[in-house]
Structure 1
Amino acid sequence: MADTTVVTSAQVEAWLRAAAGELNAHADELTALDSAIGDADHGTNMARGFAAVVDKLDAAGDDSPGIQPLLKSVGMTLISKVGGASGSLYGTLFLDMGKAAPDAAEIGVADFASVVAAGVAGVVGRGHAAVGDKTMIDALEPAVSALTDAAASGASAADAARAAAEAAAIGRDSTVPLVARKGRASYLGERSAGHLDPGAASATILVQTLADTLGDAGGSQADDGGAA
């Protein structure tokens, strides 16, 4: 039976592939959300960026790197392939996760939570957004808190990720009534209220696919559906 207390580089790679598939499947939905309060390209950009991530994984073949170089490679790929603020922010997320990760093939769940927290802190530092600003941070900050708390309580990697996904979905949905204070949507002022933030939606897809991937690998309880 797989060790449920660790996250492996193979699981991280499987997560990235699953995220690419889900982002592609939800590309039209994400772009529709972005068309209401942004530049109408979020879904297209995210799908293109993660397709490039998969291409890079395919090119590596069986020569799978450790968690640190894998995450750094993802960050650099997203920065180069995803346009606008999304490329910078998602690239920073994975680059800073990579900087915080060990150059190893596996990592304990508590340490993995710290790695994710470092990535989200990098996004906050880059975009200067906080919970309530109607951005991806509304999904990512609660997800990190839930992941960290679950890991500290001794939860398996799968169950900790599941708690993170549930928190991310709640944070995502909380953006609907908010007035945007950061990003392109902030230009709309009060008119940004009543719309789901596309960045929070794509961030939740990432966290949900992490939970799904670790759940499949670790034999956790059945998942409760998609994120966005």
Structure 2
Amino acid sequence: MLTVDRTVAWLNDFCDALIEHKATLSEYDRIIGDGDHGNNMARGAEQLKNALLDTSPKTLGEAFKTAAMKWISTVGGASGPLYGTAFMEMAKAAGDATEFDVQPLIKAGVAGIQKRGKAVAGEKTMLDVWIPLSEKFDAAQLAEAFNTTTNMQATKGRASFVGERSIGEVDPGAASSKLLFEALLKDVVE
């Protein structure tokens, strides 16, 4: 069960992980993309950490809306709109609640990513991590989803330009999503 405090801890830990792994995320993106994913995500993370200190959200909706606004306004590339929309849909789903189940929020995030990115499962995108976790959320499912995504050929986004060379390479959006859900497992899931 998510609470406001646990959600803020989750988002802060996600931000810390993005900042810590900035170079690795950018390297993944350099191999099959344009090389800016880590820097873009770390910029959003720094902004979100400051915003969470300044605002002290009172509801889950407020916490996720703060994340959405920071991602949309500060993270470049496709990641800003995709994560921003996912967080905004999570904010709408949670509304004024101070407690909420994890599964429906992940499902709301999936719907936002699909709507914004026009992607489907199997295209080697962040969705290939999010969708399995929307159905079953645990560490084993996260590891399997991430490994499965890595072994796919990209057919959507910038990574699709490298064709078969994308097979076996880590998708940057899947990698940052893995950090998001690792933080969730640490801070939220009992």
Q: TM-score range by the shorter chain?
A: over 0.9
Partner residue, 1:180: 154
TM-score normalised by L of structure 1: 0.79
C-alpha separation between the residues in 2 aligned to 1:186 and 1:168?
23
Partner residue, 2:84: 91
Partner residue, 1:105: 98
Partner residue, 1:137: 127
- The answer as to 2:175 corresponding to 1:201 is yes
C-alpha separation between the residues in 2 aligned to 1:41 and 1:135?
16
Contact 2:106–2:130 at 8 Å: present in 1 too? no
Contact 1:172–1:204 at 8 Å: present in 2 too? yes
Match of 2:26 among 31, 36, 43: 31
Q: Name the aligned partner's letter for residue 15 of structure 2.
A: A
Q: Name the aligned partner's letter for residue 111 of structure 2.
A: A
C-alpha separation between the residues in 1 aligned to 2:140 and 2:18?
18
C-alpha separation between the residues in 1 aligned to 2:92 and 2:25?
29
- The answer as to 2:79 corresponding to 1:50 is no
Contact 1:175–1:195 at 8 Å: present in 2 too? no
How far did residue 115 of structure 1 move?
A: 2.0
Contact 2:90–2:109 at 8 Å: present in 1 too? yes
C-alpha separation between the residues in 1 aligned to 2:151 and 2:119?
17
After the TM superposition, which parts of structure 1 deviate over 6 Å for at least 4 consecutive aligned residues? none
C-alpha separation between the residues in 2 aligned to 1:132 and 1:7?
29
How far did residue 69 of structure 1 move?
A: 1.6
How far did residue 214 of structure 1 move?
A: 2.0
TM-score normalised by L of structure 2: 0.94
Match of 1:81 among 74, 84, 104: 74
C-alpha separation between the residues in 2 aligned to 1:196 and 1:57?
30
> Which runs of no fewer than 5 residues in structure 1 stay unpaired?
1-5, 148-162, 219-228
Q: Deviations over 1:108-136 (max 9, x none)?
A: x2xx3112201111101211222211110
